[in-house]
Chain A
Amino acid sequence: MTATLRPARPRAEHVAGFARLVHAEWTKFRSVPGWVAGMVAAVAVTVLVSLLAASGSGSDANEASELVTGPDGDLVSDAFHFVHGPMTGDGSVTVQVTDQDASHDGAMAGLMIKDGTTPGSAYAAVMVTPAHGVRLRADYDTDIAGGDGGAPRWLRLDRSGAEVTAYESADGAEWTEIGTVRVRGLLETAEVGAFVASPPEMRVERQAGSTSVGETATIGHATFEELAVDAGDAADPERWTGDDIGQAMEGGVTRAGGTLTVTGSGDIGPDPPDDDPVQIGLFGAVVGLMVVVAVAVLCATSEYRRSLIRTTFAVTPRRGQVLAAKAVVIGSVTFVAGLVAAVAAFLLTRPLLRDAGFAPPAFPEPSLLDGPVLRAVVGTAAMLAIIAVFALAAGIVTRHSAGAITGVVMLVVLPILVASALPPGTAEWIMRLTPAGALAIQRTKEPTAGLVEPWAMVGPWAGFGVLCLYATVAVVLAARSLRGRDA
């Protein structure tokens, strides 16, 4: 007789008890060679399919004739109508934008100081927009929000060395500072003036898995009054001349008294290609996840098939803790396997993708340590881990291997197939409502509707969050099922 009952244990012992359960569940996992082999297979499949995807894709973004690169060497868009003149040294320029057409939500009308008129050169600009309020932007990557609302509005740019400060005012008397930006390598003599831009409208059509993207130019109009330059050495605004910068078309300027009416088209800002080579290099996870789902489901259902679940619950009557320990083990194992697979796939697909045209300047060389790349690689592992926990819970709820595997794989993969053939609006909602959207965590770029992959339409965390929600609901259902049913 060695056993005696002991009083209720303190918290530390509960933690130790759970750690023992995790250890026991890990022993269960590693002692079934098929499950270990399954995880290795998931890694292999992920890497192999990623290599296939990489070798089957290509980009001609670097072969376009009119490549515009910004100060960082990244692809940018730099097209607008600019009514300008030189200004040397410090000084400020002020204007009242009295009216702006709503030719596009993001149409721009305002003041700019720019390093010459070559597309892609450094700049700072303050502007009104029909839908995005007042903005201070610089060098294609800086965007500071000012007040809400658009024209009419007074705007001012003030240069002091390399720093440019922007102000706005409703009446030209009381001014509010929007912010200060540093413009890289701004020459002593820069071009200042009024500008109008209006981005093209994107049109995406989707049919049975093929996506066509079309652009229609929009033309923006705006009127300016009270143009004034306050500088030691600057051209009189009356002698400013209008130029279409970059690919801008049909721009022009008319003067009537002190009023300038400017017409312009085009966009100013980063313009990377939609294609995301990092995501292409991780594509194999879509197939690898099916293997992960199978292993995770079997971890749960095989205990029921063999009546081993009774032994498990006889050893540990606290069923919720058993579920938690199982989830920790399958989640951790999958995370480690997923991380190995994602890092290997990323590194091994790099040379293939580079040769296929995913090279600078259109595609800057990605590093594992870049924030978005790290998010994509670690996120791939996390996505697989959460899918594994989801599958485990589904296995416990259904107690049926084939049903649970099919169900989970269908929930993740079917929406991709369906959404690929649907119009962008519907497809985006499907991605927002199903775990398939989690694949967006693999993207390093802004959401876009311009790609075949439907998950590209949602942000990385939005999609991942949906998956986590599904997994949480499944785990709660599994816990309830374990508590309520006879083992």
Chain B
Amino acid sequence: MDADIKVRDLRKRYGSTLAVDGLSFTVPPGRVTGFVGPNGAGKSTTMRIVLGLDAPDEGTALVGGRPYRSLRSPLRHVGALLDAAAVHPPRRAADHLLWMAQASGLPRRRVDEVLGMVGLESAAHRPAGGFSLGMRQRLGIAAALLGDPPILMFDEPVNGLDPDGIRWIRELLRSLAAQGRAVLVSSHLMGELEDTADHLVVIGRGRLVTETGVGTLLAAASGGRVALRTSHRSEAMTVLATAGATVTATGRETVTVAGLPTERVIALLTEHGLPFSEVAAHRASLEEAYMELTRGAGEFTAAPVRDAS
């Protein structure tokens, strides 16, 4: 079985809202694929369709080349964390995993194994209702890992985790991909994926914005720009703009210069006697790259789409 997710021409309407609008992308094995877009972009809807929970109006979503609903023991093929709050509060963590294992024909010891993998051994016999959001995320991840599946999907797994937890989950995601699994991680915050994802599927208003490698995206976004720190910001901007550069103020004393090489910027500033404390080649953050990408479609953030995450 190919360990991948293939989404083709997916369309899903809820009432008058088009949640997913002709979306196509592929999640290949051996990589962490980031699934990014603002709240309401259609990420959760797409994941529910992949899992056979919601039926698409058009298009297909295949896991390992097959529709999810045709899988006989899906947990062995696809593990998913959709909603960490989806637990029955009085049920103990181990029982929450045990019924899934039983329904999937998995041995009981898998429950203890995955609880160990997410660091919940000591909480195994406590009601899940008493868990913090972070612990529930870990429980949800344990459920996704239960069937040792080649394909994994996590919807906003970082939500509610403390910095230790965030570091832990990044390492977990990378190691899962390193084992050859296809890993899809959604987030509405680009920055969360900066050190995790290799590949990005960016969507907005249910449509694909771009499907690209993280390195490519960052290089394009950085595109020969120079970051400058100076106490004479407005004079510096005038001088550089006159010389043909595109200058953007990024702070009280900082500007980004595009269209001029670093040496020319230093020469111009020196020539006009403008002091500066820092000049460096700019390295774009994923956040910036994302803003750049979506600049032309600013209505994303106000998109009136049903699902919130």
> B53 to A310, Cβ gap below 8 A?
yes
Mask of B80-117 contacts with A, CB within 8 angstroms, 1/0? 10110111111110011011101111000000000000
Q: Using a CB-CB cutoff of 8 Å, which residues 77-105 of chain A contact chain B? A: none
The residue from B66, B90, B105 contacting A32, defined by CB atoms under 8 A apart = B90
Chain A interface mostly: helix
The residue from B83, B91, B105 contacting A20, defined by CB atoms under 8 A apart = B105
The chain A residue sitting closest to B14, CB to CB, is A486
The chain B residue sitting closest to A27, CB to CB, is B99
The residue from B1, B80, B92 contacting A5, defined by CB atoms under 8 A apart = B1
Residues on the B chain within 8 Å of A11, using CB: none
CB distance from A31 to the nearest CB of B (A): 4
* Complex: A303 Cα to B149 Cα, angstroms: 24
The residue from B55, B91, B150 contacting A31, defined by CB atoms under 8 A apart = B91
* Chain B CB within 8 A of A256 CB: no
Q: In the complex, identify which listed stretch (B34-42, B67-75, B195-203, B274-282) lies at the interface while the others stay far away.
A: B67-75
The residue from B74, B86, B102, B149 contacting A317, defined by CB atoms under 8 A apart = B74
* Chain B CB within 8 A of A235 CB: no
* Chain A CB within 8 A of B126 CB: no
Residues on the B chain within 8 Å of A168, using CB: none
The chain A residue sitting closest to B67, CB to CB, is A317
* Chain A CB within 8 A of B292 CB: no
CB distance from B74 to the nearest CB of A (A): 6
> A308 to B103, Cβ gap below 8 A?
no
* Chain A CB within 8 A of B165 CB: no
* Chain A CB within 8 A of B193 CB: no
Mask of B35-55 contacts with A, CB within 8 angstroms, 1/0? 000000000000010011111
The residue from B52, B55, B100, B149 contacting A3, defined by CB atoms under 8 A apart = B149
A-B pair count, CB < 8 Å, reads 110
> A31 to B92, Cβ gap below 8 A?
yes
> B100 to A311, Cβ gap below 8 A?
yes
The chain A residue sitting closest to B3, CB to CB, is A1
* Complex: A27 Cα to B180 Cα, angstroms: 33
* Complex: A303 Cα to B3 Cα, angstroms: 30
The residue from B69, B71, B95 contacting A27, defined by CB atoms under 8 A apart = B95
> A27 to B87, Cβ gap below 8 A?
no
Residues of A within 8 A of B (CB-CB), count: 34
The residue from A17, A25, A32, A316 contacting B88, defined by CB atoms under 8 A apart = A32
CB distance from A428 to the nearest CB of B (A): 44
CB distance from A152 to the nearest CB of B (A): 74
* Chain B CB within 8 A of A33 CB: yes
Question: Given contacts A1-B150, A24-B103, A28-B99, are A306 and B72 in contact (CB under 8 A)?
Answer: no
> B102 to A314, Cβ gap below 8 A?
no
CB distance from B111 to the nearest CB of A (A): 11
* Chain A CB within 8 A of B170 CB: no
CB distance from A268 to the nearest CB of B (A): 63
* Chain A CB within 8 A of B147 CB: yes
Residues on the B chain within 8 Å of A231, using CB: none
Residues on the B chain within 8 Å of A9, using CB: 72
* Complex: A28 Cα to B69 Cα, angstroms: 22
* Complex: A313 Cα to B92 Cα, angstroms: 20
Residues on the B chain within 8 Å of A313, using CB: 52-53
> A315 to B88, Cβ gap below 8 A?
no
CB distance from B103 to the nearest CB of A (A): 4
Question: Given contacts A314-B51, A314-B74, A486-B48, are A306 and B1 in contact (CB under 8 A)?
Answer: no
Residues on the B chain within 8 Å of A303, using CB: 88
* Chain A CB within 8 A of B76 CB: yes
> B86 to A306, Cβ gap below 8 A?
yes
Listed residue (B51, B102, B103, B150) with the most chain A CB atoms within 10 angstroms of its CB: B103
* Complex: A34 Cα to B230 Cα, angstroms: 67
CB distance from B89 to the nearest CB of A (A): 8
> B98 to A27, Cβ gap below 8 A?
yes
> A24 to B102, Cβ gap below 8 A?
yes
CB distance from B2 to the nearest CB of A (A): 10
> A24 to B180, Cβ gap below 8 A?
no
> B53 to A308, Cβ gap below 8 A?
no
Residues on the B chain within 8 Å of A317, using CB: 52, 68-71, 74
> B3 to A308, Cβ gap below 8 A?
no
Mask of A1-41 contacts with B, CB within 8 angstroms, 1/0? 11111100100000011001101110110011110000000
CB distance from A315 to the nearest CB of B (A): 5
* Chain B CB within 8 A of A187 CB: no
CB distance from A259 to the nearest CB of B (A): 83
The chain A residue sitting closest to B92, CB to CB, is A31
Question: Given contacts A3-B147, A31-B92, A315-B104, are A307 and B1 in contact (CB under 8 A)?
Answer: no
Residues on the A chain within 8 Å of B287, using CB: none
> B87 to A306, Cβ gap below 8 A?
yes
* Chain A CB within 8 A of B148 CB: yes
* Complex: A486 Cα to B53 Cα, angstroms: 6
> B74 to A315, Cβ gap below 8 A?
yes
* Complex: A160 Cα to B282 Cα, angstroms: 122
* Chain B CB within 8 A of A487 CB: yes
14 A-B pairs with C-beta separation under 8 A: A17-B105, A20-B102, A20-B103, A307-B86, A308-B88, A310-B86, A311-B82, A311-B143, A314-B75, A315-B104, A316-B103, A317-B74, A487-B53, A487-B54
Residues of B whose CB lies within 8 Å of any CB of A are 1, 3, 48, 51-55, 64, 66, 68-72, 74-77, 80, 82-83, 85-92, 95-96, 98-100, 102-105, 143, 147-150, 179-181
Q: A310-B86, A314-B53 are in contact. List 7 more A-B contacts (CB 8 A).
A: A21-B103, A24-B99, A31-B98, A306-B86, A307-B86, A311-B100, A486-B54
Closest 7 pairs (CB-CB, A-B)? A31-B95, A24-B103, A486-B54, A24-B102, A27-B99, A317-B69, A3-B76
